[in-house]
Amino acid sequence: MVGDLVDLDRYPIADIASPEAVAIVREGRQRLAADGVFTMPGFLHAKGIAAMEEEADRLCRDGFRRLDHRNAFPSGMGEKTRVSLVCAGFDQMPRESPPHRLFLWDPLTRFVSEVLEQRPYYRNADAIASCMVSEYALGDELGWHFDSNDGAVTIMLRQAGSGGAFEYIPDIRHRADLPSLIDDLLAGRSPHVRELDVLPGTLTIFNGRRALHRVAPVRRAPSRRMLTLSYEPEPGQLFSDEIHMRYFGRRQPLSRGNATG
Ligand SMILES: O=C(O)CCC(=O)C(=O)O
Ligand SMILES: [Fe+2]
């Protein structure tokens, strides 16, 4: 069970058919439709955050530092944006460690499936990138981009001392004026940018394929830390070797690896 991590009194999602869970799912769908994002503050309780943080300390020490610029927009639009962070993968998480247990907790997969109305829905099966901890130290950022998949779920573990805000423009991917919206954004004069202020322990479900978003540069310690869980409409989905190399610096999982099934 995950009661030592998740506040199951506030979010009783273990039984998805219960009236309380049905109400949370309904609210999530409404928020995603209206704002493109659904947040669950206090999803991890204080002890859960502390347990995750202890594991994250160890994981981030052994994480892979990525620093490059990438093409994050549809072809021909905008310019490359900067990516600078440390990532630790699922293969680095001991079996039964807090992030490992949470990701393999079936009721969470079921809950995300219901909120996103993706049935069935599966944990991404990647031995490295399906479940990861990212860390943004001073000066780190994740530049403006669209995600290549929906179904990323994040849990804030630690906020930066300053900076590191999650900023987004919901639902703009299919707008005809996207090229000029991106130019305005990169020139720092977009009126559409929203900021999502989430406290440690908050679980966020976000339509990352349709929304432009970024993690703004961190301005002051401590570093920002996030747990990211990935889900897919098909079983057995993996990330590409390009993603493995860019984010983790390896193609193969360390030692024995972990199974997500
Ligand atoms: O860390 C976050 O809040 C979001 C990260 C993100 O956008 C991504 O990993 O694609
Ligand atoms: Fe993203």
Whether the predicted pLDDT of 256 surpasses 80: no
Q: How far is CA 150 from CA 55, 209, 232, 240, in A?
A: 27, 6, 8, 16
Domain parsing of the chain, residue ranges: 19-248
Distance 8 CA to ligand 2 centre (A): 27
Q: What is the pLDDT of residues 93-152, one digit of tens each?
A: 999 999 999 999 999 999 999 999 999 999 999 999 999 999 999 999 999 999 988 778
Check if the beta carbon of residue 89 is closer than 8 Å to that of residue 132: yes
What pLDDT, on a 0 to 100 scale, did the predictor assign at position 69?
Answer: 95
| Rg of the chain (C-alpha set) | 18
Pocket test for ligand 1, best of 213, 225, 229 (most atoms within 8 A of CB): 213
- Residue 257's pLDDT is 63
Cβ of residue 202 lying under 6 Å from some atom of ligand 1: no
Higher pLDDT among residues 218 and 259, named by residue = 218
Domain 19-248 has CATH 2.60.120.620: yes
The residue whose CA has the least distance to atom 8 of ligand 1 is: 147
- pLDDT per residue over 228-255, tens digit each? 999 999 999 999 999 999 999 999 999 7
